Chains A and B, each alone.
Chain A
Amino acid sequence: MKTSLYIDRGSIVHRLHPTLKIFALFAAFWSIYWIDNPLTLVPFIAAEFAVGIAIGAGENVYRFRWFFLLIVLPTMITWMISYRRGTPIINLPLIHASKESILFGLGKGMKVAALVLASVIFLSSTKVEELSVGLSRLGFPYRFGFTITLAFRLVPLFIDSALTVVDAQRLRGYDFDEGGPFERIRRYVPVIIPVFMGALRKANNMAMALEARGFGRSNQPTSFIEYRMHTRDAGAFAILIAVGTVAFMLYWTGYGAIPGASIHS
């Protein structure tokens, strides 16, 4: 099972300095934060898509298609029916919908999608080792950076283990689909316990293997790959600053807001 999202394509984005890639992720989050208007968000999302396709991250975006839908749709619908601003089209005790709330919900959904997309692009073009180096150059403690990178490695292993446990319990006649929503969650206890116990064992084995490989001996480990800033990094930095500024200006001038609906408006 492939446990990393990294896709080795050697594109210009792949070759950016790790610190700059982390900055790029921050810049994407910053830019999206200021904009609520779905129409204004379109060029930002289109740009993200273009970068994603250009660097070969399409397969990861496809891999995450259900995840996108799973978090975007509920966000969108929840905001659409619960955001109480504007002239109501539907006005029931629990459901309120207006032109403004629909636009606001749509914008929120697009924002979440844009954030996930930026993260997928980041992980598709950044090795976990680079993430660790980048965080450490930004002043984060080395152990913090390594813990984050280790989590990326462990999560897919735990998912794999959980799928096997589900199969094992199903083969003992266990029905996960019985009962209402709460009962269904409770019925996952026979999965959670083996996965949790397995995770503890694995974490213990990993801790031993890490120490045995010299982890902790130096607070400033070396790197066999030399990371240097290049002209391309300076160019990318300038573009990111420009994008971030434009996004903030859109907010400042009100073009990023939904008239009568945005918190920012």
Chain B
Amino acid sequence: MIGIMGASGAGKSTLAKVLNRIIPELEGGDLRGVVMLGGRSIADAHVCDLAGDLGMVFQDFESQLFSTTVAHEVAFAMERIGMPREEILARLEPALEAVGLRGFEDRDPTTLSGGQKQRLAIASVLALRPRVVVLDEPTTDLDPEGRAEVFALIRRMREEGISLIVIEHEAEELRQCDRVVILRDGSIIAEGTPATVMPKIELLEECGINAPGLDRVARLLGIDDHPASIGDAEAHIRTLLPHLSPGAEVQLDRADRKIVESKTILEIDSVSFSYSGGPRVLDDISLTIGAGEFIAIVGQNGSGKTTLAKMSVGLLAPDSGEVLLEGRDRTTLRPAETAREIGYVFQNPDHQIFADTVEAEVKFGPRNFGLDDREIESRSAEVLQAVGLENERDTDPFLLGKGQRQRLAVASVLALRPRLLILDEPTTGLDYREQRKMMKLVSELNASGVAIVMITHTPWLVAEYAHRVVLMRAGRKLFEGPVREFFIRDELLRTSSFKPPEVTTLSRRFGTVALSAAELVEWLRGRAQ
């Protein structure tokens, strides 16, 4: 199992596409050198010829499913290569069994969860029994449950001896690899076992990779070895600091980030909602959002997070209960009317970008409100500066990278100067460096008084940035409170498949709840003196 890591644009996906000749056959380009598969050059092969030898799983699971039932989907590739019917039938069940989808044969793939869809895509690849399976960021678009499902499947495939090449942003997930490769600007700049590569924190960060939290802790404490697991990290720390009491009970002994007592902007009171004739998507939800707050909403896909956000901005009206915007009944206000009070950044920036230039995109909102040209000019300059796109004002937005497009989407909403900004998974598909940039922008906005509501699946974002967490499941609010308190609710975390950052889990073994490597090390040092 080989892990490939690198920033967006480093060449990871390009490398994967070269392996099955999508490059140059479908995407063109100047390809030099040789790719050998099973000892033979693939230079003369077509993409479709390689399907049986090298399976490819892409990030966008929606684009990989073509059939109306799970069984048809698994059979799809086998049918395309002209496999006899009896052979297809013989391979169908084991492939579904391998990905845990047996019994789903007649289900419409569009009704499956994200994790199940990606597992189905893997099953249709596995059915061809390829020698190598390449997975290009297979979990980027998934919720925590889906990610856990797919990584469990990757572990199983590895145990069964299938050669795997996994492209991934999060180094933590690749600790089990035999070998990891780091790409930068199209070249391999580091390669080795996780134990030799993961401790190179500066190098990983330079390459846009989120280094494992455990390695960060080890580095800060001066431990040279690479901790392969939380248990391993604990053992190293206890060897270094032998007087730390074993099995200490967890104390919430440090202050949480401020829970702001401020003027209420949005009040959601006992709201329930269902799409016509369907089950309840929101069930008796109450939530108050004050000026300057930073709230993270977490929960599996389908738990009601986005519906709640859409209700807050007036795209949906509650069946029962009330949504009040500064005391006014939200249902009496049109979304366009209140866009200057609540901004909503959609998960996919490409759902709003349409203008010819970055500047025109940013000016679109203020123009809709009939602001005068000087005001529009000044706001545009201000927000482009804030999101770091001031030198791209004349660039065609479609030529920007995903991270830049995401920041442009935020900028174009910010140009309306909302007091509450709702961000729906703002870091999806971004590399670590871009995620940090995005979160720096969001924190600065928050510091300037803008209330932030962030829907996210990423534990370290919750740990490092949120003041308050709201956990949703099946339309109900299961938890609302400070971040540290959330991270000690084991049963809730387990049933929601929400894994706290490894550093937080490690810290609990010493009797505290730390939200970052630096915080844990500071606490440990405090105990050591």
* Chain A residues proximal to chain B, CB less than 8 Å: 1-4, 6, 8, 127-129, 150, 153, 157, 161, 164-165, 167-175, 189-191, 193-194, 197-198, 201-202, 205-218, 220-224, 226
Highest count of chain A CB atoms <10 Å: which of B47, B92, B108, B340: B47
Interface string of B363-380 (1 = CB under 8 A from A): 011001100000000000
B344:A197 contact, CB within 8 angstroms:
no
- Other A-B pairs beyond A127-B68, A222-B88, 7, CB < 8 Å: A128-B67, A165-B351, A172-B416, A194-B351, A212-B22, A214-B48, A217-B48
Q: How many A-B residue pairs have CB under 8 A?
A: 173
B416:A173 contact, CB within 8 angstroms:
yes
Give chain B residues whose Cβ lies under 8 Å from the Cβ of A210: 66
Give Cα A168–Cα B26 distance, bound, in whole angstroms: 33
B63 to A: closest C-beta gap in Å? 4
Of all chain A residues, the one with the shortest Cβ separation from B62 is A157
Interface string of B392-416 (1 = CB under 8 A from A): 0000001000000000000011001
B44 is an interface residue with CB less than 8 A from chain A: no
Interface string of B56-96 (1 = CB under 8 A from A): 10101011101111011001111111111100110010000
A167 to B: closest C-beta gap in Å? 5
B6 is an interface residue with CB less than 8 A from chain A: no
A217:B352 contact, CB within 8 angstroms:
no
Give chain A residues whose Cβ lies under 8 Å from the Cβ of B348: 164
B368:A209 contact, CB within 8 angstroms:
no
A199 to B: closest C-beta gap in Å? 11
Given the interface contacts A150-B66, A173-B416, does A223 sit within 8 Å of B79 by beta carbon?
yes
Given the interface contacts A2-B108, A206-B63, does A173 sit within 8 Å of B68 by beta carbon?
no
A10 to B: closest C-beta gap in Å? 10
B106 is an interface residue with CB less than 8 A from chain A: yes
B343:A171 contact, CB within 8 angstroms:
yes
Give Cα A173–Cα B310 distance, bound, in whole angstroms: 15
A4:B108 contact, CB within 8 angstroms:
yes
B339 is an interface residue with CB less than 8 A from chain A: yes
B496 is an interface residue with CB less than 8 A from chain A: no
Given the interface contacts A214-B52, A214-B77, A224-B75, does A174 sit within 8 Å of B47 by beta carbon?
no
Of all chain A residues, the one with the shortest Cβ separation from B74 is A224
Give Cα A206–Cα B67 distance, bound, in whole angstroms: 13
B313 is an interface residue with CB less than 8 A from chain A: yes
A172:B364 contact, CB within 8 angstroms:
yes
B20:A161 contact, CB within 8 angstroms:
no
Given the interface contacts A157-B62, A194-B353, does A222 sit within 8 Å of B84 by beta carbon?
yes
Give Cα A191–Cα B88 distance, bound, in whole angstroms: 43
B128:A171 contact, CB within 8 angstroms:
no
Give Cα A153–Cα B65 distance, bound, in whole angstroms: 10
Of all chain B residues, the one with the shortest Cβ separation from A193 is B354
Give chain A residues whose Cβ lies under 8 Å from the Cβ of B88: 222, 224
Give Cα A193–Cα B352 distance, bound, in whole angstroms: 9
Given the interface contacts A169-B352, A207-B26, A217-B81, does A224 sit within 8 Å of B71 by beta carbon?
yes
Given the interface contacts A2-B111, A217-B82, A221-B82, does A171 sit within 8 Å of B76 by beta carbon?
no
Given the interface contacts A217-B48, A217-B80, A222-B84, does A205 sit within 8 Å of B58 by beta carbon?
yes
B17 is an interface residue with CB less than 8 A from chain A: yes
A153:B352 contact, CB within 8 angstroms:
no
Give chain B residues whose Cβ lies under 8 Å from the Cβ of A197: 350, 353, 398
A129:B350 contact, CB within 8 angstroms:
no
Give chain B residues whose Cβ lies under 8 Å from the Cβ of A153: 66
Give chain A residues whose Cβ lies under 8 Å from the Cβ of B413: 171-172
A133 to B: closest C-beta gap in Å? 10
B78:A209 contact, CB within 8 angstroms:
no
Of all chain A residues, the one with the shortest Cβ separation from B51 is A214
Residue from the list B60, B72, B89 in contact with A129, Cβ < 8 A: B72
Give chain B residues whose Cβ lies under 8 Å from the Cβ of A191: 354
A152 to B: closest C-beta gap in Å? 9
B257 is an interface residue with CB less than 8 A from chain A: no
A15 to B: closest C-beta gap in Å? 15
B69:A127 contact, CB within 8 angstroms:
yes
Residue from the list B52, B63, B79, B111 in contact with A209, Cβ < 8 A: B63
CB<8 Å pairs between A and B, sample of 23: A8-B106, A127-B72, A167-B315, A168-B351, A170-B315, A172-B339, A172-B416, A173-B339, A173-B340, A173-B365, A174-B368, A194-B354, A207-B26, A208-B26, A211-B46, A212-B22, A212-B56, A213-B76, A213-B124, A214-B48, A214-B52, A223-B85, A224-B89
Given the interface contacts A6-B68, A157-B62, A209-B64, does A171 sit within 8 Å of B82 by beta carbon?
no
Give Cα A233–Cα B88 distance, bound, in whole angstroms: 26
Give Cα A201–Cα B106 distance, bound, in whole angstroms: 29
A198:B344 contact, CB within 8 angstroms:
no
Residue from the list B49, B66, B315, B369 in contact with A217, Cβ < 8 A: B49
B110 is an interface residue with CB less than 8 A from chain A: yes
Q: Which 9 A-B pairs rank lowest in CB-CB distance, beginning with the nearest?
A: A173-B368, A214-B51, A205-B63, A218-B82, A193-B354, A213-B77, A214-B80, A217-B48, A168-B352
